[in-house]
């Protein structure tokens, strides 16, 4: 949804691209841990880091679309 919202806005900044790719990388890390060692502590770290990146992405999108450019 965040990617679609970014595309709808018309421009994609480098920060949005980095945050989206970091989220995907962390989801892959979470899945890799789940399917190999399944150490809950490591999985929790990967999941929490992914959640933090996703929250940062959504907060940046809201800030950019609502606060910084309300003309969209």
The total number of residues shown for the chain amounts to 72
- Digit-by-digit pLDDT tens for the chain (72 residues) are 888 888 888 778 899 999 999 999 999 999 999 999 999 999 999 999 999 999 999 999 989 888 887 665
In our burial notation (b when 16+ CB lie closer than 10 A, e otherwise), range 19-40 reads bbebbeebeebbeebeeeeeee
């Amino acid at each position: 949804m965040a990617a679609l919202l970014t595309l709808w806005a018309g421009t994609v900044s480098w920060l949005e691209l980095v945050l989206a790719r970091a989220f995907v990388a962390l989801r892959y890390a979470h899945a890799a841990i789940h399917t190999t060692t399944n150490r809950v502590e490591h999985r929790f770290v990967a999941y929490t880091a992914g959640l933090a990146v996703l929250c940062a992405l959504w907060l940046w999108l809201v800030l950019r679309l609502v606060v910084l450019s309300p003309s969209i």
